[in-house]
Structure 1
Amino acid sequence: MKKIAVHLADGFEEIEAISIIDVLRRAGFQVTVVSMNEKMDVAGSHEITVKADALFEDLDYDNIDMIVLPGGMPGAAKLKAHSGLREEILNFYDMNKPLAAICAAPMVFGNLGLLKEKRATCYPGFEEELHGAIITGEAVEQTENIITGKGAGVAIKFALKIVELFNGKEVADELAVKMIEN
């Protein structure tokens, strides 16, 4: 079973976070919701509070298969500013382990130089943060092991792309049909 860590900082986009967590759990992945705060409760940008499964400093990243970053502001900016998270993302990139970010959060990868000459997408207005990326404006993009998504309206499609990465298109399509996504 693949283990995926979804990282939440105060100000995250609730639709993105919850949709991603839900779809990945439906697909049978072990999803750990990670608080980037010093407490388990994380407040979304629309005042919905989510209780995390783990604090960032307590998570063993050696046992994680993928890092996922929901967007929303100021949540994505807080993810970008977190030095420990940046270090883990760089480790994952160096080990060719999958990374995914949606909405404003692809700026975390962009600021680390991970998107240079790679197709990527993000919420309109954050393109300049994706340093050196080939900005497509598509709903979801995957280049190698990096998946980026445009925003809340494509959160399910984004999560299904993660399912496809690990389990194949047929499994992702079957799940989409069960959820009446297509």
Structure 2
Amino acid sequence: MQNSSTQDRNSLQGKKIAFLVTDGFEQIELTTPWEKIKLAGAEAELIALEEGKVQGYHHLDKGDAFQVDKSIADVSADDYDGLVLPGGVANPDALRTDQNAVEFVRAFFTEQKPVAAICHAPWTLVEADVLDGRTLTSWPSLRTDIQNAGGNWVDQEVVVDQGLVTSRKPDDLEAFCSKAIEEFAEGKH
């Protein structure tokens, strides 16, 4: 019997996954899913509000800067098989004020493509108005925002609802990545 990491190694072959961030993202919530999704065979692209570099954080401390592959103005959900939204407080708060970013996120739901969002990332989903009737989790402080957007908030390590994968925090990354890879492998919902 193969272990899950061996099974996952080619499960995303031929898939292209977008990672949407801006300055202030939680670095481990980008780097861990990025590595696992690439190991599963997918092509990954880092999308940001502008070209250049974006600044990661380790909670409140500056982390590394990452080279952006494409700006939000130059991409379409049509170009990707799935979307990952890392958290961090500043990142989704800035993304939800950018109309191009909000429309990009909304398009994944319109096209019924899988989306994985962790920690504070569901703030962008609230703004995209895609949570009505869905069950999800997040960092606990987003509970009221999610409920006000029509979502059912639960306190669980990982939740999957019609292709939407959510988790609460970096401690949940193993379960988050595993479920995200499953949903990306299955495709449209």
Per-residue CA deviation, residues 136-161 of structure 1 (Å, 9 max, x unaligned), is 11111110021111111112321211
CA shift, 1:60, in A, is 4.1
Helix, strand or coil for the counterpart of 1:4? strand
CA RMSD of aligned residues (A): 1.5
In structure 1, which of residues 130, 135, 139 is the aligned counterpart of residue 153 of structure 2?
135
CA shift, 1:39, in A, is 3.2
Per-residue CA deviation, residues 21-65 of structure 1 (Å, 9 max, x unaligned), is 1110011111101122x2321011331211222222223432211
Matched, 1:77 2:93: yes
1:120-159 matched pairs, under 5 angstroms: 120-130=136-146, 131-159=149-177
In structure 2, which of residues 106, 125, 130 is the aligned counterpart of residue 90 of structure 1?
106
Whether the 8 Å CA contact 2:25–2:87 is kept in 1: the answer is: yes
In structure 1, which of residues 18, 21, 32 is the aligned counterpart of residue 31 of structure 2?
18
CA shift, 1:100, in A, is 1.8
In 2: Cα distance, 1:156 partner to 1:51 partner: 25
1:1-182 matched pairs, under 5 angstroms: 1-36=14-49, 38-45=50-57, 46-48=61-63, 49-130=65-146, 131-167=149-185
In 2: Cα distance, 1:40 partner to 1:141 partner: 33
4+ runs of 1 displaced by more than 3 Å?
Answer: none
Moved more, 142-151 or 47-56: 47-56
TM-score (norm 2): 0.82
Amino acid at match of 1:5: A
In 2: Cα distance, 1:117 partner to 1:62 partner: 25
Per-residue CA deviation, residues 75-133 of structure 1 (Å, 9 max, x unaligned), is 11011111101112222211211122110011211233311221100001111121221
In 2: Cα distance, 1:90 partner to 1:167 partner: 20
**Unmatched segments (≥5 aa) in structure 1:** 169-182
Helix, strand or coil for the counterpart of 1:81? coil
TM-score (norm 1): 0.85
